[in-house]
Structure 1
Amino acid sequence: MNEIQIPVTVSGPGSQPAEEDGADLEILQLPDEMSTFSMPTLQDVEDVSKLQDGMAVLKQLDEILKQQAKARQVTPEYIDINHLDAADKQLIDQVLGEGEVSMLYESSDTTARIQESVMAGLWRVRYYNDADEVTADTVEVAYVPRLSQRHVFKQAAHRVEHQRDSIPDGVINAPPLLAEINDKVAEFRPGKDNHIINLTLLPQTEADIEFLTRVLGKGPLTILSRGYGNCRITSTAVQNVWWVQYFNSQDKNILNTIEIGAIPAVAAAAHEDVQDSAERLSEILEAYL
């Protein structure tokens, strides 16, 4: 009986001949972790009952969340907790936990660190002086904290300015993008969808990226979102222009974009998130009331 030859096709890394230019095939690794909600570990009921000021703040947050969840849109509200002692603040921190989004705001006159709660739409906002001492301590209910909306671009330019004769050698595709950015900055109005320029899909050289980074400048706000992989958002020195970069779990840049518009959606809570957070906080507090 004659043998039947069955062709076998092998694919995958290492199975293909080398490229003529010596480049290797790179297989991007997908993020292998995703943040999920878990109930916080709290103190005993007897211990919590002694922290009346901390519990009062949590009850106030509970009422605010319930009201906001019923509304068509969240109206930002905040509670000042600067006057609370360390034990009461610790209780609040334990209940709120640390969520996916953190922010650092650094300008000439303001430094603030912002942490989203595990219950989206709740934010811990702390302001610091030059000695790194807390000067204000608040909890906010909002899609995004007030500081990240009202003050980020207060000193930003209204357009990208550059001289044609100052464009370095090797910069090829960046100049047309600056014209596009200026047009979209001028067109943007609150409530309008963000305009996204996907640099990963465009033929950008290293010189192009360096040039864009220099002329756009750096603003005061840096955001890290760790929902699925990492997303790093940086405000620029131009009105309503953001760098948005996505990284996989090996910290390899897999998507590089510029957004013109409101704070990128990946950093903001949705209304459904606020409704869900209202239910979660009520469930947590039921154990202590």
Structure 2
Amino acid sequence: MAITSFGGLGPGSQPVEEDGGELQYMEMPNGMRAFARPILPEKEEVAGLRAALDVLSAVADSLAAFSSGRSNAVHDLAGLDNANLALVDQVLGEGEMSVICGDDVQAQESVLAGVWRIRRSGPDGRLASDTIEVGAFPSAVMAEAFAGSRDSLAAPPVYPAGVFNAPPLIAEINDHIGRTGPGVEPHVINLSLLPHTEKDLAFLDKLLGQGPVVVLSRGYGNCRVTTTGTRDVWWVRFYNSTEALILNTIEVTALPEVVSAAPEDIADSHGRLLEILEVYR
């Protein structure tokens, strides 16, 4: 039996129209990042840096003990001098996810999934605490993510001109806010597939309010996740390399999966950190 092969798909694969026009394709995200082992000092160069190695060994133990639903392990770096902190920085590196929470908390995922560096500043802007957390997402951020948020959306008696498709979404969001929790699948509203106007989006944005958390993930293109002023409601937006919005969603969930380290990735991080530490034994 003869097998018919289809022509290629994508830019340049389709014939040019008689008027010279070509089918245009939106550029999709590219440049997915993979684990890159950090460049580490030689064994003799870390002599005297036992405090850093002890912290990293404790982090490895926390990775081994990780399980979903368990509280994050926290490791304080306050007692480390500059040389020991430099070794910790070198081993952990900077991963694909950065988090800002309000004016005082910043979190950076390391090159090891599930290992987060948390820095909190004081009222004077100086560093107040420096810790490592091991878990799916920093608990220091989650503690403030929806502090003071509203529990539901109040529909106005009259909608602004140009707002057509936002009203049914208000009822849908309210219906799912009370259903979030461990083991509950996120409820995703894909605005990219729903008919809407710019005024619909502006109205929803204002009604939902602004939360304190902004997450930037660079693992595959750019993903920006923000909390709203409404409990367990997140904006999740994907952009391509030209900063064009290609996917715009509202998620009603305790934590969007896109910002959560998966258990299998955390298990991989344990093995990778043990390999790094083995060099210095």
3-state DSSP of counterpart to 1:147: helix
Letter in 2 for 1:111: D
After superposition, where does 1:170-185 map in structure 2 within 5 Å? 170-185=162-177
1:77 CA displacement: 0.5
Q: Name 1:3's counterpart in structure 2.
A: none
1:189 CA displacement: 3.5
Letter in 2 for 1:142: G
CA 1:217 to 1:26, structure 2 compared with 1: closer, same or farther past 3 Å? farther
Q: Name 1:5's counterpart in structure 2.
A: none
Q: Determine if the alignment matches structure 1 residue 120 to structure 2 residue 118.
A: no
1:130 CA displacement: 3.2
After superposition, where does 1:9-20 map in structure 2 within 5 Å? 12=14, 15=17, 17=19
* Unaligned segments of structure 1, at least 5 residues: 1-9
- Residues 211-250 of structure 1, C-alpha deviations (whole Å, 9 max, x = no match): 1111101101111111111110000000100000011111
Q: What is the distance in 2 between the residues matched to 1:94 and 1:57?
A: 13
Letter in 2 for 1:153: F
* Percent of aligned pairs sharing the same letter: 42
Q: Determine if the alignment matches structure 1 residue 223 to structure 2 residue 219.
A: no
- Normalized against structure 1, the TM-score is what? 0.87
Letter in 1 for 2:186: N
CA 1:59 to 1:188, structure 2 compared with 1: closer, same or farther past 3 Å? closer
Q: What is the distance in 2 between the residues matched to 1:14 and 1:126?
A: 55
The count of aligned residue pairs is: 270
Q: What is the distance in 2 between the residues matched to 1:29 and 1:147?
A: 36
Letter in 1 for 2:80: L
CA 1:287 to 1:11, structure 2 compared with 1: closer, same or farther past 3 Å? closer
1:74 CA displacement: 4.8
1:285 CA displacement: 0.7
In our comparison, the structure showing a higher alpha carbon Rg is 1
1:175 CA displacement: 1.2
CA 1:18 to 1:253, structure 2 compared with 1: closer, same or farther past 3 Å? farther
CA 1:13 to 1:269, structure 2 compared with 1: closer, same or farther past 3 Å? farther
* Unaligned segments of structure 2, at least 5 residues: 1-11
After superposition, where does 1:158-169 map in structure 2 within 5 Å? 158-165=151-158, 167-169=159-161
Q: What is the distance in 2 between the residues matched to 1:246 and 1:13?
A: 30
Q: What is the distance in 2 between the residues matched to 1:134 and 1:215?
A: 35
Backbone CA RMSD of aligned residues:
2.1
2:27 pairs, out of 17, 26, 29, with: 29
Q: Name 2:100's counterpart in structure 1.
A: 104
